[in-house]
Each structure stands twice: as C-alpha cells, then as structure tokens.
Amino acid sequence: MLEELSDHIMDIAMNSVRAGARHVSVSVQSDVARDRLTIAISDDGAGMSEDTLKAVVDPFYSTKAGKKVGLGIPLLKGAAEMCDGTFQVRSTLGRGTEIEATFVLHHPDLPPLGDVKETMFLLSVSNPEIRFSFRCDVDGKEFLLDTGEMRDVLGGVPINHPEVVAYLRRYVEGHG
C-alpha cells in the first residue's frame, strides 16, 4: 500500500504525463453529508485500447520498458475498495483517460490525505509544458491551481522559471 492519498495522486498523474497528455485535471473532494472522498484524474493523453483497459487493473500489466509490474492503478483500486469505495477507469485510444476513486470518508482504513498541494506543486513545476487544473476541496478548505491560467498571465515565461517557482511555492503554502 502507498501510505498517503497524495502518493496515489502522484502515481496516477504521472501515468497521464507518460501518456503524452497536454492537459491533466485532478480533483480531490470530500463530501461530509454523503460520507465520501472522491479523487478524479483525467487527461487528454494517448488513452488505452480496450485490451489494455481490461488488463490495467491487473497488477502484472505495464507498458513501461523493462518493467514487469504496473502497480499504480491496482493500488489505488485496492485502497478505494478497502475503504468500501468505488473505482472506475474510462479510456479511449487517442482521446484520453478518466480515473475516479471514491472512499468512505469515515472509514478506519482511509489513508491520510498527505500533502496534496505539494504534489500539485511538484507536478506543475516538473512538467512545465503540461497544463494542470487542480482542485482540492477537503474539510471545507478549497485550493485551486490552474497552470494554464497562469501561463496566460506569464506570457512566455515558463512555469519552472525560478521566480515563478518561488511564487508558486508561496501560493501553495497559503501566503501567495
């Protein structure tokens, strides 16, 4: 098991990066009334064939060169199911992929959330050419970050420029 939900988010979002996505959306939302935590990650990357899609929940399937096990998707599925949640992957070759995992919010096995904002920061600055749309709305605290909107304001200055990284760092720490 990965220890924190933010580790799962990093793994699933890196699949999107590897699939050549130009735009990756990540949302993490808690709904106390419905006792649910929902993590949704979608991308406009290469997508998966129906065969790959079927195999992808199998922990021994991976298209990574030299690697015999792919664990990112099965681990998130396992974590969601352990918390009486649900797991869904939708994917279309050439169009993209959507993954949604839900967890029972009060479940004793619910992994800690981890530092989701840090994960979002790291994904953004290490993949400056990709637009990330992040939304984290947990415990009544909402955090939004859209690197596409930032790019419009920056006018050609890359998201990994040291001053932009410093700005982003302050923003994720809540004093931007």
Ligand X SMILES: Nc1ncnc2c1ncn2[C@@H]1O[C@H](COP(=O)(O)OP(=O)(O)O)[C@@H](O)[C@H]1O
45 binds ligand X (CB under 6 A): yes
Give yes or no for residue 62 binding ligand X (CB under 6 A).
yes
Assess 111 for contact with ligand X (CB under 6 A): no
Report the residue number, 37 or 48, with the smaller CB distance to ligand X.
48
Both structure tokens of 35: 């006792």
Q: Which is nearer to ligand X, 26 or 172 (CB)?
A: 26
Q: What whole-number distance in Å separates Cα of residue 114 and Cα of residue 126? A: 19
Told to check if 85 binds ligand X by CB under 6 A, we report no
Using CB under 6 A as the binding rule, whether residue 46 contacts ligand X is answered as yes
Instruction: Pick one of ligand X, Mg ion, none as the site partner of residue 111 (Cβ within 5 to 8 A by kind).
Output: none
Size of the site for ligand X (CB under 6 A): 21
As a whole number of angstroms, the distance between CA 112 and CA 133 comes to 22
Rounded to a whole number of angstroms, the minimum distance from the CB of residue 7 to Mg ion is: 11
Residue 26, phi then psi, degrees to nearest 5: -130, 125
- Is the torsion defined by CA of 101, 126, 141, 148 positive or negative? negative
| Pairing status of strand 131-138 against strand 23-31 | parallel
